[in-house]
């Protein structure tokens, strides 16, 4: 799945930047969609912002994993649980 740009994005002199958007269409199972909806509603986010944040977290985790780092959850009692990424 790769995002498709509209033809207008290819105009001469077009420079992709921070405000350049790509429209995506995704198919989610009903359980995944319900979880996503619950998460964005809990935070008061738009669908687009929820997707942006999910991608940012995924990238952070993958970058840390690539550096050889481990991800952990620190419980309120300060016990540590290692997060295993698949």
- How big is the CA angle at 50 (ends 1 and 43), to the nearest 5 degrees? 165
Confidence check: pLDDT of 76 > 90: yes
pLDDT given for residue 54 in this prediction: 97
pLDDT tens-digit series, residues 4-53: 544 444 445 555 566 788 999 999 999 999 999 999 999 999 999 999 99
Q: Where are the domains of the chain?
A: 25-83
pLDDT given for residue 85 in this prediction: 85
DSSP sequence for 7-64: GGGG-TT----TT----------HHHHHHHHHHHHHHT--HHHHHHHHHHHHHHHHHH
Q: Give CA–CA dist 17/46, Å, rounded.
A: 21
**Using alpha carbons only, how large is the chain's radius of gyration in Å?**
18
pLDDT given for residue 46 in this prediction: 97
């Amino acid at each position: 799945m790769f995002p498709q740009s509209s033809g207008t994005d290819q105009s001469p002199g077009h420079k992709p930047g921070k405000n350049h958007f790509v429209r995506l269409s995704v198919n989610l199972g009903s359980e995944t969609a319900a979880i996503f909806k619950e998460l964005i509603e809990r935070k008061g986010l738009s669908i687009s912002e929820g997707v942006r944040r999910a991608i940012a977290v995924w990238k952070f985790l993958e970058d840390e994993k690539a550096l050889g780092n481990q991800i952990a959850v620190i419980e309120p009692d300060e016990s540590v649980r290692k997060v295993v990424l698949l």
